[in-house]
Structure 1
Amino acid sequence: MYTARFRDPAGTVRTGTYNEGTVTAGGETYDLSKDDVTLLAPCEPSKIVCVGLNYADHAAERDKEVPERPLLFLKPPNAVSPPNSTVTLPAGKDRIDWEAEFAIVIGEQCRNATADDALASVAGYTCMNDISNRDDQDIETNWVRGKAFDNSAVLGPVLADPTAVPEDASIELRVNGETKQSSSIDQFFFSVPELIEEISAYMTLEPGDVISTGTPAGVGPLSDGDDVAIEIEGIGTLEHSVRIP
Structure 2
Amino acid sequence: MRAERPPVEWIGSPFYGYPRGTKGRKDYKVIAIVNHIMAGTLEGTDAWFNDEKSGGVSAHFGIGKDGTIHQYVSLGDVARHAGIVREPNWPLLIADVNPNWYTIGIEHEGYPDEQMPEAQFQSTLALQSWLVEIFNLEVNQNTIISHSRIDSVVKGNCPGSNFPWERLFQSLTSQATGFSDVPFDHWAAAALKRVVDAGIMSGYPDKTFQGDNAVTRYELASTIDRLMKKSN
**Both structures adopt the same fold (TM-score exceeding 0.5):** no
Q: TM-score, normalised by structure 1?
A: 0.28
Using CA pairs under 8 Å that are at least 6 residues apart, name the structure with larger relative contact order, 1 or 2.
Answer: 1
Q: TM-score, normalised by structure 2?
A: 0.29
**Greater helix proportion:** 2
**Greater strand proportion:** 1
